[in-house]
A and B are shown apart, each in its own frame.
Chain A
């Protein structure tokens, strides 16, 4: 039974790789920027899963630590890319409700006290 589970793990890893390849196709062909960002985000989730499965397959628990790091980095990377494409800079405070103002790039100096 343990042997069986080992094969199931390996199959899971391979199928995850296939899913990642499909997402890569969407990443390369996505008509809009947001399709690509979505594909990258989903790709990152699958990478986390693959790392976790792979760590258990080879029997080294350190891989799970890498998966934790990747899960956190993936989220931060998505937000950073979105913020960069919206403001063309990363050092802008998002204290204000940045959804409110449509086209004006808020400056760090003009902060409002009450959001929403």
Chain B
């Protein structure tokens, strides 16, 4: 009876940890897509590497119980815990040395309407004036060379 209870509790804790971990991992991946410049993307990637990875590995350790597999998983968690900040620091140090400047100050994501490409090229295409077409034709070879 009690053994079954412990088993259920173990599985429940493992499931909660895995779901939380995968949430953080996905949030980090979305952040890597959405963030505006390299230095902010790095923060988003850091989320994945620290809490998301550790939570998923913790969930797996709880699942595996006390066995050789869980010892190996502890090793993986330990390596990731040590190497991920070092790798992040190496990447950002290299970027900083190469002269990549961070965008500072407040940033706000553009509203969904603004995010689309500005309607300037459309207007050009719509314009039926011959001069515009000629001008484009004249520009084309220039752009090619």
Question: Are A and B in contact, CB atoms below 8 Å, in the complex?
Answer: yes
Chain A interface (Cβ < 8 Å from any Cβ of B)? 1-2, 4-5, 8-9, 11-12, 15-16, 18-20, 22-23, 25-26, 32, 34-35, 37-39, 41-42, 45-46, 48-49, 52-53, 55-56, 61, 64-65, 67-68, 71-72, 74-75, 78-79, 82, 85-86, 99, 102
Across the interface, A1 reaches (CB within 8 A) one of B11, B29, B53, B84, namely B11
Q: How far is the CA of A100 from the CA of B56 in the complex (A)?
A: 39
Give the distance to chain B from A75, nearest Cβ to Cβ, in Å: 4
Contact at A34–B18, with CB atoms within 8 Å?
no
Q: How far is the CA of A49 from the CA of B33 in the complex (A)?
A: 20
Contact at B57–A49, with CB atoms within 8 Å?
yes
Query: How many A-B contacts if CB must be within 8 Å?
Result: 147
Give the distance to chain B from A30, nearest Cβ to Cβ, in Å: 8
Across the interface, B83 reaches (CB within 8 A) one of A39, A71, A102, namely A71
| CB contact under 8 A between A5 and B15, given known A38-B38, A64-B69 | yes
Q: How far is the CA of A8 from the CA of B68 in the complex (A)?
A: 22
